[in-house]
Structure 1
Amino acid sequence: KDPNETPDLWHWPTTNTFWLPYFYNDETSLFRGHYSVLSNDTSKPDPPLKVELLPTSLGAFRILNHVHGTIGKLKQFGFSEEDLEEVLYMLAPERLFRMMLTWVISMLHMLFSFLAFKNEVGFWSERETVAGLSQSAIIGNSICSIIIFLFLLDS
């Protein structure tokens, strides 16, 4: 049984047929920038406190529980608190859609690049002469390819 799957606290102790409501404190969206220094001065007003109680689905709970397990493993590997905060910042719900959209666009870009390369190889393999092709276009495309190659080699 995966310890990150579902906690044992969910089973009713005596009959094992009911589910207890589970309170989950999600700290993955809490960053150091959200912290504020408290003062002992009682003349200052109380600091603002925001508490949100939100229901979550079992699937979302399992994902969050898995993220917490992964963060614990990253701590064991020697990640610093700043590194862990950057990882959690990227996985924050506000940025998750943007990250998934970037991933989908990257996959489509790779697919189209592969198809273009395959088409270009097929075009040049059937050619025996360069008759009918613009010499300046061939040289320009070659220069662009060399520049892109050198850029990728540098980075």
Structure 2
Amino acid sequence: MLYGGEASQELWREARWAFIHGQYVAAIMLSQALAEQMLAAYLDVDTHADSLPSRVTFSETLKRCVKRGVLSEADANGLRELIAQRNPLSHFRSIDDPANLSRRVLDTLEPAEMHLRRVATSAIGTAARLLALPAFRLGS
């Protein structure tokens, strides 16, 4: 019942499970993957939208969703922030990079788990807000 089919369904189920069980990095990554799958799948079946390339970038998906009115600019900015939080966990950043988790721990004196829990809370909240948008509500 979700755009993106089984992939989106499993991403949402696993993101919630990971968050509940304190697997914060997984919850962050899964929440972003869910957003990417659902939004691109929505555009893919929209007969009024331009065809998507076979491998569309998330930034292009966000632009198209804002243009189509599926997302507000504030929604898109929340998803861009999620990308900014996920990227340093997926891709190497040197200790000198402000986005590096160890650098953030040193700079804030906040334990990594607390930082990741805060980011994961935001990520799962962003995913839940996405699912609550009119385009994605069941029965709408």
Quickly name the TM-score band, shorter chain normalised. Answer: under 0.3
Structure showing greater Rg: 1
The higher-RCO structure (CA 8 Å, 6+ apart) is 2
TM-score (norm 1): 0.22
TM-score (norm 2): 0.24
